[in-house]
């Protein structure tokens, strides 16, 4: 029953050239702050006062066996909470050093989750439960941890649109635990209690906003993939939950679509892919979650075999009182927005790109032969390539050259593919395939520019309003309006940069075509 659904953790994007490590930015003090803080595109020094939770966090860290931390929790202006140097920290210092008991993983979920143990008592479903994807196991465990945390606080609500399990059903979960006290689950209360009701990822966006705000951008397709993966994950686990409820093995309304979606959002915004003893594991790492992102930083969260702990090796020196940053990976501002809910200034993000999607002509008489040749080259009939402000990849030109090649017969396509992709030959049997490819790419750039739903002037106006939004206060009823304005401004900033990239690519191609004419 287990599917191949693949969410991508923030810090590890499979398609990127180098491994990415890290989790979501700091937990925020309020929904309003969570939505606005990152969009002013300025860095603020840390507040002179610690966060109210700072002492409790330091005690919790020591209780779990981590060494004295060189970092402390502070309010860091528009960036919300962050980790700040207590003292001078030299370049190359190993920070954090959090032992393995700080990691929330799928293995821990199977070991400690009363919910998962209960579901494994379903007839002939034990193997199915254990075979669920990492994301699903961790999401179910997060739902349970949130339940225990709310019970610890005596909370009556778990967030917008999320119902509490009825008290008459709670005994089912207690009975499975054996001890009936949720000790293992309650030990994560310090962490779970600060997780936001709205994680901030694309999964929090109403569908109509996704369609409206991302229209004309390649991000719309990426957003659809994320939403579809979440839908399939819930569809996969829902029958198991329903059956467990009917058998009175788990409380009613503990695992709902809302609570499960919240948990997926937490994983999307905070999970880290780390390699431990040669095995990649997807995990949540409390305390490390408070590290904020900077596009210029090259340090990332990793497992250190020497200390057997999670570390951050600094790529620069920090003075006392300075905020310490981490890299979420070499990702565009749009990718970060969909996953994390904030948008680094696209103009200053060296990884900003427009993902140009190209594919073989479905009406090509040699479509099957070309598909087979692409497969041999490790490619597919539909692919995306990043256009950047300083140029576009030669692989894109090669792909278009192969797409436009007009063979005489099937048998020559494999040889031509090897000439194009392995040898870089773009003049084949008298056909100037580079000229054809550049002309095709220029047409695609111009088509993409026409597909933007609003003018550049309208986008500039929306983007310029972001700074003023950071000072606005609102009632709960007005926060959704503010969230829409913030999202609209972020998307406008991204479209402006996408326009610049497309226009620049058009200009570069025009110059190259002029030289070949």
Phi-psi bin for 104: left (phi > 0), alpha (psi -120 to 50), beta?
Answer: beta
**Cα of 155 vs its chain's centroid, Å:** 29
Assigned CATH class of 31-103+285-327: mainly beta
3-state secondary structure at position 94: strand
- Listed by start position, the domains of the chain span 31-103+285-327, 106-269, 354-516
- As a 3-state breakdown, the chain gives helix, strand, coil percent values, each rounded to 5, of 50, 10, 40
Give, for all 517 residues of the chain, the pLDDT tens digit. 444 344 444 443 322 222 233 333 333 333 333 433 443 333 444 544 568 889 999 999 999 999 999 999 998 877 778 999 999 999 999 999 999 999 999 999 999 999 999 899 888 888 889 899 999 999 999 999 999 888 877 644 444 444 555 544 544 565 344 444 445 788 999 999 999 899 999 999 999 999 999 999 999 999 999 999 999 999 999 999 999 999 988 889 999 999 999 999 999 999 989 999 899 999 999 999 999 999 999 999 999 999 999 999 999 999 999 999 999 999 999 999 999 888 999 999 999 999 999 999 999 999 999 999 999 999 999 999 999 999 999 999 999 999 999 999 999 999 999 999 999 999 998 889 999 999 999 999 999 999 999 999 999 999 988 777 755 555 655 788 889 999 999 999 999 999 999 999 999 999 999 987 6
Fold of 354-516: set domain protein methyltransferase, domain 2 (3.90.1420)
DSSP symbol at 68: P
**What ranges in 87-132 are assigned the alpha helix state H?**
106-112, 114-119, 126-130
**pTM score of the predicted model:** 0.84
Asked whether this chain's domains 31-103+285-327 and 354-516 adopt the same fold, the reply is no
What 3 state SS string does 192-257 have?
A: HCCCCCCCCCHHHCCHHHHHHHCCCCCHHHHHHHHHHHHHHHHHHHHHHHHHHHHCCCCCCCCCCH
């Amino acid at each position: 029953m287990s599917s191949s659904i693949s969410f991508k953790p923030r810090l590890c994007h499979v398609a990127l050239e180098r491994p990415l490590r890290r989790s979501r930015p700091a937990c925020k003090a309020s929904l309003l702050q969570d939505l606005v803080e990152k969009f002013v595109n300025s860095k603020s020094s840390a507040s002179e006062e610690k966060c109210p939770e700072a002492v409790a966090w330091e005690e919790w860290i020591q209780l779990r066996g981590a060494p004295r931390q060189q970092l402390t929790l502070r309010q860091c202006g528009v960036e919300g909470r962050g980790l700040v140097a207590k003292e001078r920290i030299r370049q190359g210092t190993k920070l954090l050093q959090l032992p393995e008991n700080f990691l929330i993983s799928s293995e821990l979920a199977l070991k400690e989750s009363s919910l998962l143990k209960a579901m494994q008592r379903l007839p002939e479903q034990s193997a199915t439960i254990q075979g669920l994807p990492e994301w699903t196991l961790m999401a179910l465990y997060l739902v349970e941890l949130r339940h225990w945390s709310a019970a610890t606080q005596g909370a009556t609500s778990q967030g917008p649109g999320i119902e509490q399990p009825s008290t008459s059903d709670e005994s089912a979960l207690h009975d499975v635990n054996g001890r009936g006290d949720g000790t293992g689950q309650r030990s994560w209360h310090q962490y779970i209690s600060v997780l936001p009701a709205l994680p901030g990822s694309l999964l929090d966006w109403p569908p109509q906003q996704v369609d409206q705000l991302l229209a004309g951008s390649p991000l719309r397709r990426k957003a659809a993939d994320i939403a579809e993966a979440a839908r399939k994950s819930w569809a996969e686990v829902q029958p198991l939950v329903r059956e467990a409820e009917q058998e009175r093995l788990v409380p009613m309304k503990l695992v709902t679509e809302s609570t499960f979606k919240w948990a997926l959002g937490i994983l999307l915004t905070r999970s880290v892919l780390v390699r431990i003893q040669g095995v990649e594991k997807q995990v949540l790492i409390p305390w490390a979650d408070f590290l904020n992102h900077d596009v210029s930083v090259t340090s990332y969260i990793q497992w250190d075999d020497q200390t057997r702990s999670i570390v951050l090796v600094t790529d620069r020196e920090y003075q006392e009182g300075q905020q310490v940053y981490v890299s979420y990976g070499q990702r565009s501002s749009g990718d970060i927005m969909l996953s994390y809910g904030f948008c680094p200034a696209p103009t200053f993000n060296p990884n900003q790109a427009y993902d140009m999607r190209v594919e073989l002509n479905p009406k090509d008489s040699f479509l099957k032969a070309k598909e087979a040749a692409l497969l041999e080259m490790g490619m597919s009939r539909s692919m995306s390539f990043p256009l950047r402000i300083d140029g576009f990849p030669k692989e894109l030109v090669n792909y278009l050259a192969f797409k436009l090649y007009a063979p005489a017969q099937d048998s020559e396509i494999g040889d031509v593919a090897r000439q194009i992709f392995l040898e870089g030959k773009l003049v084949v049997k008298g056909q100037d395939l580079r000229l054809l490819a550049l002309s095709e790419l220029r047409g695609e750039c111009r088509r993409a520019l026409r597909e933007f739903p609003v003018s550049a002037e309208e986008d500039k106006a929306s983007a310029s309003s972001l700074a003023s939004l950071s000072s606005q206060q609102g009632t709960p009823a007005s926060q959704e309006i503010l969230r829409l304005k913030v999202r609209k401004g972020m998307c406008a900033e991204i479209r402006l940069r996408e326009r610049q990239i497309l226009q620049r690519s058009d200009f570069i191609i025009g110059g190259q075509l002029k030289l070949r004419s």
